[in-house]
Amino acid sequence: AKTLGRSRYEFFNVELRMRLQRRLRLEQDLRDAVRRGRLWAAYQPVVDLRTNETVAVEGLLRWTHPVHGPVSPTEFIPMAEESDLINLLGAHVLRETTKEVAARRADGIDVDLKINLSTRQLDDASLVLAIEAALASTGLPPSALCLEITESALMRDAALAGETLAALRNLGVRLAIDDFGTGYSSLAQLHKLTLDTLKIDRSFVTGLGESADAEAIVTSIIAMAHAVNLTVVAEGVETEKQLEVLKALDCDQAQGYYFGKPQPAHKLWP
């Protein structure tokens, strides 16, 4: 038992060290990638369920590592959020996506832009100025930009976020609560945040048409959101069936592989 204990200890030690090393190296590489402009945004359509038209695109950050290949944002965003790197990433996404969408709008493609914000960015005094500058330099109207913040992050940092959110609201940009249903916000909190849009988390959308529970949850989220005048977007729609249920439940907009995966701008708008 003693030898087993020791070898197990060493196993974990090696495993932990390898993970830490990959992590440290990735962090270095990410910093490098930001500096060299190697990060880019993919765009996923958001469809209006009454007109079936694409009314917006969500810009999602992409990173192809020279050795490891594509690294998921679910891995590198949390890593970036632990340092100031997230502000660099955020500034990059903001500049790239506003420029792209403003250019497409000038070509007659009438879509709004949604991008994701970390609460750590709300902490950054220069965020509001950076957004103002991006809008001014591209000519994108403030009302065409929607900033998405996850429910869990908003609830965790609600006090801290309030002031910046108010400043953003004054600019005229839209605000959305993302991944809704995974946190524990109340109707009162939602109302106080003066948001425009609520995105229902994919985990609830996935069960539509299969699970009565999922349908009950989505029904009540939509009713609650509409009661406080929020536009509701369902994310992660993959099947016709899910789409039909969402339409029947009076959901406003939807996004998901059923309509299109996130793709580079030149593929989405050839």
Binding site for ligand C2E (CB under 6 A): 44, 60-61, 72-74, 77, 93, 116-118, 148, 178-179, 235-238, 255-257, 262
- E-strand stretches of the chain: 39-48, 54-65, 69-71, 112-116, 145-150, 174-180, 197-200, 231-234, 253-254
Stretch that binds Ca ion, among 17-25, 172-180, 211-219, 254-262 (CB under 5 A): 172-180
Give, in degrees to the nearest 5, the angle at Cα 249 between 247 and 254: 50
Interior/surface letters 109-140, b for 16+ CB within 10 angstroms, e for the rest: eebbbbbbbbbbbbebeebbebbeebbeebeb
- CB atoms near residue 36 (< 10 Å): 8
- Which residues in 91-130 contact Ca ion (CB under 5 A)? 116
Sign of CA dihedral 149, 154, 158, 160: negative
Considering the rule CB under 5 A, would residue 179 count as an interface residue with Ca ion? yes
* DSSP category for residue 29: H
- Contact in structure between 63 and 39 (CB atoms under 8 Å): yes
Q: Chain centroid to CA 6: how far? A: 44
Nearer to Ca ion, 31 or 260 (CB): 260
The minimum distance between CB 201 and ligand C2E, in angstroms, equals 8
User: 112, 148, 151, 252: which one contacts Ca ion (CB under 5 A)?
Assistant: 148
Return the one option of ligand C2E, Ca ion, none that residue 96 interacts with (CB less than 5 to 8 A, by type): none
Q: Cβ contacts of residue 89 below 8 Å, gap of 6+?
A: 34, 39, 61, 77, 80
Nearer to ligand C2E, 7 or 52 (CB): 52
Nearer to Ca ion, 46 or 245 (CB): 46
The minimum distance between CB 150 and Ca ion, in angstroms, equals 7
Nearer to ligand C2E, 6 or 267 (CB): 267
Return the one option of ligand C2E, Ca ion, none that residue 72 interacts with (CB less than 5 to 8 A, by type): ligand C2E
Return the one option of Ca ion, ligand C2E, none that residue 45 interacts with (CB less than 5 to 8 A, by type): none
Residue numbers at the binding site for Ca ion (CB under 5 A):
116, 148, 178-179, 235
